[in-house]
Structure 1
Amino acid sequence: MIVREWEKLQFIDPERALIALRKFATTQSLYELPYEIASLRKRELRPFGESRQCALFCQGLSHIMGRKVVYAQYEHADYDFVARFEKDEVLHYAPIQMKELVPEELNPHANLQSELNKLEKYADSKDLVIAIHINRAATVHLSKLVMPRTSLGALWFFGANDQTQNTWTIIGNLLRPGASSSEFTHP
């Protein structure tokens, strides 16, 4: 059973990870580095960039749920991370697939609907959580989006409210009635 594998993973506290990454980013001369290195987009650095995105997502979930949500990297067919949280003294796990609406400078033609359309490939993933990092200035009009016709477990959007990346917004679960948004702060 896959949960037995997940129980053995080394889970990361998103708050601690984000504090360490922010400290590194503010003490190093990242602006002197090429963009793909400073932004963790270079192939060998991508796992770190994706881990940062997952940490931000789990930080937002922790805020919404009122309990710590930790994560572990775990590359599998449909997902790259596993989240864990405790509720009623029981550990719960959820596989997470991170997606990104990339900055406009990287792809001015990318849009949120295109990213949603790509989710059709997850036709039979009823436990899978999709978290889409909106990594650009954008106003999201949920009523104009066509949600994927899949059996996903959850769909969330999250992104920074401004360039300081101190305040973030998380929106979800978009696959259930009553989806809501909430602001949280970068630790």
Structure 2
Amino acid sequence: MTTLRFSPHTSSPISLCLGLCAALCASACSDDAGGEGEDTEETAGEEVGTDTETDTGEEVEVDEQAILDSIASYREDFVLINAAAFTSEHGGATVNVYAEPGVADAFRAIDPENPVDTTLPVGALIVKEVIDEMGDPVSGTVMFKAEAGYNPELGDWWFGAGDLIGGELSASGPDVGNCVGCHQEVAQTDYVYGVPPADQT
């Protein structure tokens, strides 16, 4: 069995990932924060990963700690996509959506009202933060596009939910809450919900 490891690049604050971005299901993708079928493990080096196996028996692993490190300062280093906070369809939370600078344009091109075939590249990262009445982040979700075979049912996306700034996930893996059920509806746009152009920065 071959183990493939994928993690976002953190070469500079402006280009935290040469990958891309993707949309998120807010930490309230459903009322249930935990997903079934997750294979999450902690190793000796404090590294947490989520593994899935491909049809050929190769194991595809997502390095969750590397993702958390890459998004630790997303408010400063990523591009805010929406012009104003909006109410998410996921639980009615007030949210903002951020994408890495290298993938912001590709994400902006996803128009939920006029979808076209879209495929975001491996390494894409998107953050959806949930904010309180003062505009401060209280939780959020992140999507990371893993290598082929990680999550074929949902375009190989990994999901994480929890305290993104504090670096603590409450749930993670190929399906968190109802992410699969919700994001399957937008397969045409690589399982990612966009922000209407009129509502973008």
TM over 0.5: no
RCO comparison, higher one (Cα < 8 Å, 6+): 2
Look at both structures and tell me which one has the larger radius of gyration over its CA atoms.
1
